[in-house]
Amino acid sequence: MTIEPALAAYEAEGYAYLGRIGDPATMAALGARIDDIMMGAVSYEGLFFQLDTTSGLYEDVEYGKGWQGPSRNYRKVEKLELDPLFRSWIELPLFERVARAVYGSEVSLYRALVFNKAAETGGTYLPWHQDGGAFWGVDRAPRLQIWTALDDTPEDAGCVEVFPGSHLAGLASPIGGVVPKAQLEARRPEQHSVLLPANAGDVYLIHNHVWHRSGRNLTGRPRRAFTACYLDGRARCMRKKRTPREFPRLFTRPP
């Protein structure tokens, strides 16, 4: 498969459709696995959980509580590289080609997680944000995320929405994360936005600095997406208050 056109679009626009990469059986297996993890039937030491709101309001998201018992209403589940099925998806040879084209020969993993908007609650509105800045605590900016729809994600399921080209101006604030109000008013992302509806198995490349957001899931069906953030293998964790993170090296198996 040729990846050059997608890479060129990702560099210019901050996002690109890579293709229908996942087959239905693989997506169903990943979907079943994340459900098992949320329900506590499969567990690994070190997984990160964040329970979703029932209000749909981002301001109501609670932090630092971890797994709070079996529920399909976890908003985020991180450290999925601990799970062999997700780890195989992260290290797909096609993704290796993409990641090496962006970073060179040494590639590591910053994070691997599911964004879930549950059928029952509809999940939470995720405001315009960038994935980077001081809060991420790394000495060189991560810039490649590979996002996979595990379920069909039409517009009313809270698909991802991007502001094309916004990554070219860098970070909207040094800390990163949610785009500050003044910047939103200055650049009016909603006037430029592109919705990225997806079918299960569809894969998008997303630049960490492109402004992106996602709405609530109004379909009454699960809306689960898996995203992995790849990192230059030479990057080091900058945090001082706790032991610095070690970023797992990827694609190390012999060719």
Residue 103 or 115: which CB sits closer to ligand AKG?
115
Residue 158 or 233: which CB sits closer to ligand AKG?
158
Interface residues with ligand AKG (CB under 6 A)?
Answer: 115, 126, 131, 145, 147, 160, 206, 212, 214, 225, 227
Cβ 163 to ligand AKG, closest distance in Å? 13
The pair phi, psi for residue 160, each rounded to 5°, is: -75, 145
Cβ 73 to ligand AKG, closest distance in Å? 15
DSSP 188: -
Distance, CA of 230 to CA of 144 (rounded, Å)? 6
Cβ 254 to ligand AKG, closest distance in Å? 31
Residue 87 or 216: which CB sits closer to ligand AKG?
216
The pair phi, psi for residue 18, each rounded to 5°, is: -90, -35
Tokens 């040729």 belong to residue: 2
**Burial of residue 202 (number of CB atoms within 10 Å: 0-12, 13-18, 19+):** buried
Task: With beta carbons less than 8 A apart as the criterion, state whether 116 and 224 touch.
Answer: yes
Cβ 153 to ligand AKG, closest distance in Å? 8
Cβ 204 to ligand AKG, closest distance in Å? 9
Residue 160 or 203: which CB sits closer to ligand AKG?
160
Name the closest residue to ligand AKG (Cβ): 214
Q: What is the token pair recorded at 205?
A: 């490349």
Distance, CA of 177 to CA of 202 (rounded, Å)? 25
Residue 100 or 216: which CB sits closer to ligand AKG?
216
Q: What is the token pair recorded at 45?
A: 């030491």
